């Protein structure tokens, strides 16, 4: 168990303590916080109990909350997805971990056909207050299938919320919100930045809203829109641009679906230009929806086409070439230069 | 050096095709009231079934899967379950749902293409709605059973599925979890010999369906699904185990799908009239009726009353169903989330206008 | 077996015969044609052999080609998807039917993680010349889960082709092309128009290209872009508009992915306006990619925002209300009027 | 009325932990050359394994799953298979892949993050690459076996998986298909007691893994996976059945994962040093070595030669591997489809420029 998680777990309940934590530690804090607040929260997945998860996100929870609320499951993602639905219909609030996003696909039928529809199907008689967590994205030199970023597949499914934090603070606040939300949430954790930065997080149980983008940096000349690990490169690009005298607004979409179009449109109304950055492949990515929404909703404001800086339309390469797949700071800067030139 | 592992599994039936006992009957046979209630429910389920098929033929209901041949299994399940147990049905469980207290009007609405069919359910509010994607309900069932275990409740889950469904990972994975976690769940496979046009013999190479229990370390039982006593006894036994914290059971109830797969199917394309005729000889409703007659619990007058009673009940429900106006179109977004996300506000407005303006 | 399929199957191989067939009969013709041409083509799925498929698409094939090449499978879509991959790696050309698109989700892991990647993973040593067929879309008064149109989920997956015919002729030619294509193809058949019209199809074994949209009607004022069953309403809208003096070009995208952006951009360069019509829900639908591509690639040509006429962002309602979900002719006409007004 | 169904399953081992026969050995024991070849392959596999772990520790290779404890199973499989059979491996099958003729350089490339690792394979061009998504290869295996049956070939498929993998639908569905279609396939479960941190006892409630065969109507066998004779005999028997058109078999080979799950894992977090120590006592390589010594087929000098030979072979392969330049970035789109779709032409150009311009 890492030190800060341990401290968090042993803490006196009364006084909210501030921690300098990484993103993955913030996930752990939020889980522990909400399991303390709410007895109906349970956690399940492969290797999440005794081992604390392969990324250590659930470390210490079994020791603290017992094996009945922190369950290692057999190796079957479809089962995990479906068991979670069953639990949720009975008023538990299960938080299931998929070890990597690349292994969630076996659970698609349960997620699409049941988790997302139980409330609608029963006209509210039963519903699914559940969270499916998964580390996602590339760049950690992992084997095949360990670098997926297919958030677009979930974003297209009515009845699901898709949430992606990109900082320790947002991981804490958004995960609390996701667990408390009475509907199913796909909570994708950008593992490339699991430990990239530490931030002070006050473990006060305060959730963040699930229906709004976060404006990380204000600017006038162009709106940079991103989410997940790519936020890092996007912010760096904004720095770089500012040195060049270009003032970039940076928005972390964070709540990928339902999408907060207002914030995006307001920003573009101001800047007149938008560049979208995401790691997923371009064709049919969430960037397409964002671009289409802006192109439709801000048609008269746009001074240049909305440009997407994304992964290539191919399978994420094995690790020797993965950096060539991922959008780089230079790619973002180049795209901005292109739209500014127009 | 060899060690041998052995597994056994019994097939049980009590009544012959004519309804005469082959063996001493289980204790529950002494309860004449229960037997009569069972018989009444079977007849009610069949009456409703025939009516829905008629409605479908006249365009007043959608595609519908008949319960014909499943009434005994469903009735035995419904009787054995406690009110606080949870039922996770598939789509041929009308007989159980009647006993659980799902209103007939809801069943009609459901097959009539109206989501309100699965709403309400005051008598069994935690029961799952019908699961259309085959076998997926098995995973929910073990999830619900796990929730009961987590909360230390003495309740159980019963999940039903067809023989075809046993080929799908959801069932097999769930059986495994039920064994690993020692869950209070009963899997009842209604083996009606067909999965649409696919015969039992093409579905799996296993001698029995029940033996699939062995893969998860669960006990399995095979019963004649047209034998009320055999099914009831197996159900009671399995539910006792579940309620007593002794774990899960798989029951294979062997029957025959006496109707087409659904009203959209034509079974004469793939199975013989002979096979169907001989299956009718084993019909479990007739069998229980004969038994009741022989045992002095039933007679022609009661039968006549029952038939009239069932027709009447069904007609009343059908009347309410047919009178029901469809939901307003905006309902399609109102139950997606607990509260409407702002991104859907515009779409909801358009839907709301649709009705007022009368636009399709 | 229906009469024309029977005739097709009994025909003398030498002389290509023309048939007036429906879309589903054209599917049957193409399957029979390619099974005759190529011994390595096999067909599998639930209820497809003895019963000829629940929509009768495979009727007569077992009688003609034998049970070894026409296989009823156990009820397990994940298995069907994976078995097909195995067969394809060994040089068979399997065509698997999913009974309804709503039941394909269990096969997602096999489709995404294997079918789409085998060639890339082995650098061409093994590949997957397979076709996954599924009837899709709503409007036939079917039960829950029988009205899905989630083509966007496949379109986002690199390594898959997604093809959707919208007429008997295109069904015949595109299915032949899909079977002959050495890579995996998701072939979605709009079941609402399975029997809506008949067309003369010459069973000459000629395939259509898999990399081009089909321009069904030329026009100058607006480009209507659609696919699948919605092509019917789109064509009717074009008629209606022509009565109003608006000349609409109608494009059937047909090859959804990889997407032929050239044809779309050329048309919009001419008309300056585009309306996209699809049945799938809007958020993250294929319409988003089409709109984003046009908004980016034809920025200077566009005289109005690209508008999407789509299903609602919700679960397809059960059948009493399904017509309220589906895009109607009036909706398309209204959208065109809106963009023309700008 | 009761009918009883019975199923049995044997556990077999021939050598005790010290390598002394417990029973009369199977006929294959008479072939000293085969035994020595087997032993050599096991040592080679282990040598390669240790080297890759060392490379990983020094940043010259990616995350890697050790073969430690699986060498006997893998070697027996590789020896028993015909050249024209097809192997569908998981990620702990280095010992089999060496015998199939997968070049060591390819193995190194694969774990070194280079797709070319699964290319080429001239000696076993139809073998599947490693399947990372657990158990999915089982479906491919039955698909390949079905292709063989369709073409009336006398070939067979061997598919391997771990104990954890047996919980996943893919395995269970494939076992069912293998039974229903009578397919020439052998499922070998390397039951190494752990799935990452999840012990065998949490994975399933079944007494054995092999009994999962019963759910598909297949025969199952349990063998000591550190006993070369037991694994080889079971494999020969199962492959004979498959080649002879008699259908599929499930073999559970009981062993122990002597290393961490992968180089990214730390097994001390979840299992005891004692357990690991006692597992080493059952190590199958040492066991076969002792047997060979006692039988007069082996001595210290030969052992020394073998060790040197293996180190040398591995070093040569590592050298080639380390010299290999990465593929050009554009390779990432070149193998997606048979030919580049025009929609990807622009992206390919950008990738091609990346290298020339030296950008990132
Ligand atoms: C996942 C999935 N695949 C396919 C279907 C289509 N389908 C509906 S019922 C059925 C056959 C089910 O057979 P069985 O399990 O034996 O139940 P029965 O209908 O015989 O009672 C099929 C294939 C479905 N509903 N769900
Ligand atoms: C579908 C899927 N889920 C999860 C993983 C992550 N994972 C890799 S190996 C493994 C454990 C496998 O255990 P077992 O099958 O017993 O094989 P072993 O590694 O012990 O040889 C897990 C969970 C994966 N690769 N695929
Ligand atoms: Mg059936
Ligand atoms: Mg293992």
How many CA atoms lie less than 13 Å away from D94 in the CB half-sphere?
29
Average pLDDT along chain B: 97
State the pairing for strand pair C214-217/C248-252.
antiparallel
Q: In this model, does residue B360 exceed pLDDT 50?
A: no
In whole angstroms, give the CA distance from residue B282 to residue A38.
53
Inform me whether the pLDDT recorded for D356 exceeds 60: no
Distance between CA atoms of B35 and A265, rounded to whole angstroms? 68
One domain, residues A59 and A142: yes
What is the per-residue pLDDT across D305-325, written as a single tens digit (0 to 9) for each? Answer: 999 999 999 999 999 999 999
Give the pairing of strands B249-254 and B185-191: parallel
Q: Angle, nearest 10°, between helix axes B228-243 and B284-294? A: 100
Least confident of A2-16, B37-51, B252-266, C299-313: A2-16
Residue A126 and residue A254 share a domain: no
- Which of B170, B196, B267, when mutated, tests ligand 1's pocket best, judged by the most ligand atoms within 8 Å of its CB? B196
Q: Are C246 and C303 part of one and the same domain? A: yes
Assess whether C9 and C133 both reside in one domain.
yes
For A227-242, b where at least 16 C-beta lie within 10 A, e where not — what string? Answer: bbbbbbbbbebbebbe
Cβ-based contacts of B271 with chain C (< 8 Å): none
Average pLDDT, chain C: 96
D267 lines ligand 2 (CB under 6 A): no
Nearest CA to ligand 2 atom 8: D134
**Is there a contact between C54 and B264 if contact means CB atoms under 8 Å apart?**
yes
State pTM to two decimals: 0.97
C281-293 average pLDDT score: 98
Q: What's the confidence (pLDDT) of residue C342?
A: 78
Q: Are residues A151 and A247 in the same domain?
A: no
pLDDT band at D330 (very low <50, low <70, confident <90, very high): very high
Query: A217 forms bridges with which residues in the sheet?
Result: A250
Phi, psi of C10 (to 5 degrees): -85, -5
Task: Specify the DSSP class assigned to residue A318.
Answer: P
Residue in A48, A75, A79, A98 to alter for ligand 2 test, most ligand atoms within 8 A of Cβ = A75
Identify all chain D residues contacting C185, using CB atoms and an 8 Å cutoff.
none
**pLDDT confidence tier of residue D1, bands split at 50, 70 and 90:** confident
B214 and D7 within 8 Å at the Cβ level: the answer is: yes
End position of a domain, from candidates A171, A202, A233? A202
- Ligand number nearest CA of B167 is 1
Closest of C32, C44, C42, C38 to residue C7, by C-alpha: C32
Q: Is the pLDDT of residue C12 over 90?
A: no
Which residue CA neighbors atom 8 of ligand 1 most closely?
A: B134
**Shortest-distance atom of ligand 1 to CA C106:** 1
A231 and A252 Cβ atoms separated by less than 8 Å: yes
Q: How many domains, chain C?
A: 2
Are residues A141 and D63, on separate chains, in Cβ contact within 8 Å?
A: yes
User: If DSSP states are collapsed to H, E and C, what string results for D316-342?
Assistant: HHHHHHHHCCCCCCCHHHHCCCCCCCH
Among A202, A225, A259, residue at a domain's last position: A202
CA distance B206 to chain C (A): 13
pLDDT > 90 fraction of chain A, expressed in percent and rounded: 95
H or E element that contains A188: strand A185-190
pLDDT at residue A3 in the model: 56
CATH classification of the domain holding A17? 3.40.50.970
Contact (CB<8Å) D139/C81? yes
Using left for φ > 0, alpha for ψ between -120 and 50, and beta otherwise, residue A177 falls in alpha
Residues A289 and A155: beta-carbon distance below 8 Å: yes
Would strands B194-195 and C199-202 be described as parallel, antiparallel, or unpaired?
unpaired
Instruction: Kindly report, residue by residue over B273-314, the tens digit of the pLDDT.
Output: 999 999 999 999 999 999 999 999 999 999 999 999 999 999
Euclidean distance between CA atoms A288 and C289, whole angstroms: 5
Strands C214-217 and C185-190: unpaired
Query: B335 and A124: CB-CB below 8 Å?
Result: yes
Q: Do both C19 and C100 map to the same domain?
A: yes
The reply to whether C176 and C258 lie within a common domain is no
Residue range C88-119, pLDDT digits in tens? 999 999 999 999 999 999 999 999 999 999 99
Query: What residue owns the CA closest to ligand 1's atom 21?
Result: B162
Contact C168, C199 (CB under 8 A): yes
Of B90, B134, B167, the residue with max ligand 1 atoms within 8 A of its CB, to mutate for a pocket test, comes to B134
> Which sign does the torsion angle of CA A61, A62, A63, A68 carry?
positive
Give D-chain residues touching C256 at CB under 8 angstroms. Answer: none
The DSSP letter of residue D289 is H
Strands A18-21 and A199-202: antiparallel
List subunits contacting chain B, requiring 3 or more Cβ pairs under 8 Å. Answer: A, C, D
Task: Give the mutation candidate from D3, D181, D206 for the B interface (greatest B CB count, under 10 A).
Answer: D206
C288-325 pLDDT, tens digit each: 999 999 999 999 999 999 999 999 999 999 999 999 99
Given an 8 Å threshold on Cβ–Cβ distance, is C120 in contact with A314?
A: yes
Number of residues in chain D: 360
Q: Select the residue of C83, C123, C261 nearest D142 (Cβ to Cβ).
A: C83
For Cα atoms C284, C288, C291, give the angle at the middle one, nearest 5 degrees.
175
Q: Tell me how far apart the alpha carbons of residues B11 and B208 are, in angstroms, rounded to a whole number.
A: 10
Helix (H, G, I), strand (E, B) or coil at A342: coil
Instruction: Note residues around ion ligand 4 (Cβ under 5 angstroms).
Output: D 162-163, 192, 195
Q: Which residues of B touch C145 (CB under 8 A)?
A: 132-133
- What is the rounded CA–CA span in Å between residue D331 and residue A324? 11
By C-alpha distance, which of B221, B215, B256 is closest to D4?
B221
Domain locations in chain B as residue ranges: 11-324, 327-360
What is the pairing mode between strands B198-199 and C199-202?
A: unpaired
Residue D164 in contact with ligand 2 by CB distance below 6 A: yes
Q: What is the pLDDT of residue A1?
A: 45
CATH code, A328: 3.40.50.920
* Owning domain of residue A299: 214-341
Residues in chain A, how many? 342
pLDDT tens per residue across span B314-342 = 999 999 999 999 999 999 999 999 999 99
Q: Are D113 and A320 within 8 A, CB to CB?
A: yes
Contact check, Cβ <8 Å, B132/C145 = yes
Residue B217, by phi and psi: left (phi above 0), alpha (psi -120 to 50) or beta?
A: left
- In this prediction, residues A139-163 reach a mean pLDDT of 97
Whether the CB of D92 sits within 6 Å of ligand 2? yes
What's the confidence (pLDDT) of residue C5? Answer: 53
CA distance C112 to chain A (A): 8
- Can you tell me whether residue D19 is helix, strand or coil? coil
Looking at the predicted structure, is the pLDDT value of residue B359 above 50? no
Same domain, A32 and A147: yes
The residue-averaged pLDDT of D92-113 equals 98
Neighbouring C-beta atoms of residue A313, cutoff 10 Å: 25
Q: Which residues of D touch A (CB under 8 A)?
A: 62-63, 111-115, 132-135, 164-165, 167-170, 195-198, 202-204, 264-265, 269-270, 326-327, 329, 331-333, 336, 343-344, 347, 351, 354, 359-360
- Provide the ipTM: 0.97
Mean pLDDT, range A234-253, rounded to an integer = 98
B95, B160 in Cβ contact below 8 A? no
- Confidence bin at C4 (pLDDT 50/70/90): low
Nearest to D3 among B6, B11, B179 (CB): B11
Residue of B62, B56, B54 whose CA lies nearest to B110: B62
What pLDDT is recorded for position C10? 55
Instruction: Single out the residue in A175, A202, A229 at which a domain terminates.
Output: A202
> Which chains contact D through at least 3 pairs of Cβ atoms less than 8 Å apart?
A, B, C
Q: Is D49 in the pocket of ligand 2 (CB under 6 A)?
A: no
Does the structure show a pLDDT above 50 at A232? yes
As a whole number of angstroms, the distance between CA B266 and CA B257 comes to: 13
Which 8-state DSSP code applies to residue B166? G
D273: alpha, beta or left, given left = phi > 0 and alpha = psi -120 to 50?
alpha
Give me the residues of B, 157-216, that contact D with CB < 8 A: 167-170, 172-173, 176-182, 202-208, 210-212, 214-216
**What's the gap in Å between D98 CA and the centre of ligand 3?**
46
Q: Are D242 and D185 in contact (CB under 8 A)?
A: yes
Pairing mode, if any, of strands C70-72 and C41-45?
Answer: parallel
3-state secondary structure chain C: CCHHHHHHHHCCCCCCCEEEECHHHHHHHHHHHHHHHCCCEEEEECCCCCCCCCCCCCCCHHHHHCCCCEEECCCCHHHHHHHHHHHHHCCCEEEEECCCHHHCHHHHHHHHHHHCCHHHHCCCCCCCCCEEEEEECCCCCCCCCCCCCCHHHHHCCCCCEEECCCCHHHHHHHHHHHHHCCCCEEEEEEHHHCCCCCEEEECCCCCCCCCCCEEEECCCCEEEEECCCHHHHHHHHHHHHHHCCCCEEEEECCEEECCCHHHHHHHHHHHCCEEEEEEEECCCCHHHHHHHHHHHHCCCCCCCCCEEEEECCCCCCCHHHHHHHCCCHHHHHHHHHHHHHC
* A209 domain-assigned: no
Ligand 2 pocket test: pick from D164, D170, D197, D256 the residue with the most ligand atoms within 8 Å of its Cβ.
Answer: D164
d(CA A273, CA C337): 27
**Whether D343 and C260 lie within 8 Å, measured CB to CB:** yes
Of the residues C145, C146, C156, C324, only one is catalytic, namely C146
Instruction: Give dist(CA A41, CA A53) in Å, integer.
Output: 17
Please check whether residue D68 is in contact with residue D330, taking contact to mean a CB–CB distance below 8 angstroms. no
Residue B191 Cα: closest atom of ligand 1: 16
Residues A28 and A164 in one domain: yes
Of the candidates C122, C158, C262, which has its C-beta nearest D118's C-beta?
Answer: C122
Nearest to B235 by CA among B193, B196, B186, B163: B186
Does residue A31 sit in helix, strand or coil? Answer: helix
Among protein residues, the one with the nearest Cα to ligand 2's atom 6 is A99
Q: How far away is chain A from the Cα of C120, in angstroms, using its nearest Cα?
A: 8
Mutate to test the interface with A, among B91, B130, B139 (most CBs of A within 10 A): B139
| SS3 state at B7 | strand
* Inter-residue contact A248 to A279 (CB < 8 Å): no
Q: Which of D110, D140, D331 to mutate to test the interface with C (most CBs of C within 10 A)?
A: D140
At residue A40, does pLDDT exceed 80? yes
Residue D75, phi then psi, degrees to nearest 5: -70, -45
The residue whose CA has the least distance to atom 17 of ligand 1 is B162
How far is the alpha carbon of A310 from chain B, nearest alpha carbon, in Å? 25
Report phi then psi at C186, rounded to 5.
Answer: -90, 115
Q: Point out the residues of A that are catalytic.
A: 146
Nearest to A164 by CA among A17, A285, A314: A285
| CATH no. for D11-324 | 3.40.50.970
Chain D residues whose CB is inside 8 A of the B202 CB are 180
The answer to whether residue D339 neighbours chain B at the CB level (below 8 Å) is no
- Alpha-helical regions (H) of B58-150: 71-80, 94-100, 104-111, 136-150
User: Is D48's pLDDT higher than 60?
Assistant: yes
């Amino acid at each position: 168990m890492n030190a800060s998680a341990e401290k968090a777990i042993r803490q006196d309940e009364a006084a909210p303590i501030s921690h300098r934590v990484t993103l993955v530690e913030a996930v752990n804090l939020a889980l522990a916080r909400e399991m303390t607040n709410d007895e109906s929260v349970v956690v399940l997945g492969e290797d999440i109990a005794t081992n604390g998860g392969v990324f250590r996100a659930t470390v210490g929870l079994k020791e603290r909350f017992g094996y009945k609320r922190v369950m290692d499951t057999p190796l079957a993602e479809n089962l995990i997805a479906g068991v979670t639905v069953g639990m949720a219909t009975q008023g538990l609030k299960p938080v299931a971990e998929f070890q990597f996003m690349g292994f969630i696909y076996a659970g698609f039928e349960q997620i699409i056909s049941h988790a997302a529809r139980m409330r609608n199907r029963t006209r509210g008689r039963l519903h699914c207050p559940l969270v499916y967590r998964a580390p996602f994205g590339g760049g950690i030199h992992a084997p095949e299938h360990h670098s997926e970023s297919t958030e677009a597949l979930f974003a297209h499914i009515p009845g699901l919320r898709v949430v992606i934090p990109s900082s320790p603070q947002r991981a804490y606040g958004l995960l609390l919100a996701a667990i408390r939300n009475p509907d199913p949430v796909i909570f994708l954790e950008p593992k490339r930045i699991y430990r990239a930065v530490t931030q002070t997080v006050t473990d006060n149980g305060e959730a963040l809203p699930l229906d709004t983008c976060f404006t990380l940096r204000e600017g006038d000349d162009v709106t940079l829109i991103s989410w997940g690990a790519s936020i890092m490169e996007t912010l760096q690009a904004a720095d770089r641009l500012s040195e060049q005298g270009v003032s970039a607004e940076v928005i972390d979409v964070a709540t990928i679906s339902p999408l907060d179009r207002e914030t995006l449109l307001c920003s573009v109304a101001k800047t007149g230009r938008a560049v979208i950055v995401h790691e997923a492949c371009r064709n049919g990515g969430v960037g397409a929806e964002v671009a289409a929404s802006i192109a439709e909703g801000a048609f008269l404001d746009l001074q240049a086409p909305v440009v997407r800086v994304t992964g290539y339309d191919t399978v994420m390469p094995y690790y020797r070439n993965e950096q060539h797949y991922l959008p780089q700071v230079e790619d973002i800067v180049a795209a901005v230069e292109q739209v500014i030139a127009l | 050096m060899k060690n041998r592992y052995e597994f056994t599994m019994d097939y049980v039936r009590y009544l012959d095709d004519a309804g005469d006992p082959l063996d001493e009957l289980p204790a529950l046979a002494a309860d004449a009231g229960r037997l009569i209630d069972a018989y009444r429910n079977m007849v009610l389920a069949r009456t409703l079934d025939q009516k829905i098929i008629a409605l479908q033929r006249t365009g007043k209901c959608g595609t519908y899967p008949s319960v014909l041949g499943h009434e005994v299994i469903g009735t035995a399940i419904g009787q054995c379950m406690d009110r606080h147990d949870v039922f996770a049905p598939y789509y041929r469980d009308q007989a159980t749902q009647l006993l659980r207290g799902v209103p007939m009007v809801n069943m009609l609405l459901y097959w009539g293409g109206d989501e309100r069919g699965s709403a309400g359910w005051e008598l069994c509010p935690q029961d799952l709605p019908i699961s259309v994607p085959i076998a997926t309900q098995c995973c929910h069932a073990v999830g619900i059973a796990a929730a009961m275990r987590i909360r230390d409740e003495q309740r159980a889950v019963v999940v039903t599925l067809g023989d075809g469904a046993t080929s799908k990972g959801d069932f097999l994975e769930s059986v495994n979890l039920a064994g690993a976690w020692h869950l209070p769940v009963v899997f009842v496979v209604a083996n009606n010999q067909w999965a649409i046009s696919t015969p039992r013999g093409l579905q799996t190479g296993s001698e029995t369906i029940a033996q699939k229990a062995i893969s998860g370390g669960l006990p399995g039982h095979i019963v004649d699904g047209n034998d009320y006593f055999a099914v009831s006894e197996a159900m009671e036994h399995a539910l006792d185990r579940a309620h007593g914290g002794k774990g899960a059971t798989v029951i294979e109830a062997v029957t025959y799908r006496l109707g087409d797969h659904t009203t959209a199917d034509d079974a004469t394309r793939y199975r013989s009239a002979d096979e169907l005729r001989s299956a009718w000889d084993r019909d479990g409703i007739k069998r229980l009726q004969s038994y009741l007659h022989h045992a002095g619990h039933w007679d022609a007058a009661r039968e006549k009353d029952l038939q009239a009673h069932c027709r009447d009940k069904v007609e009343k429900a059908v009347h309410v169903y047919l009178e029901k106006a469809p939901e307003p179109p905006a309902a399609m977004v109102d139950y997606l989330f607990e509260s409407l996300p702002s991104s859907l506000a515009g779409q909801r407005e358009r839907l709301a206008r649709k009705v007022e303006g009368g636009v399709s």
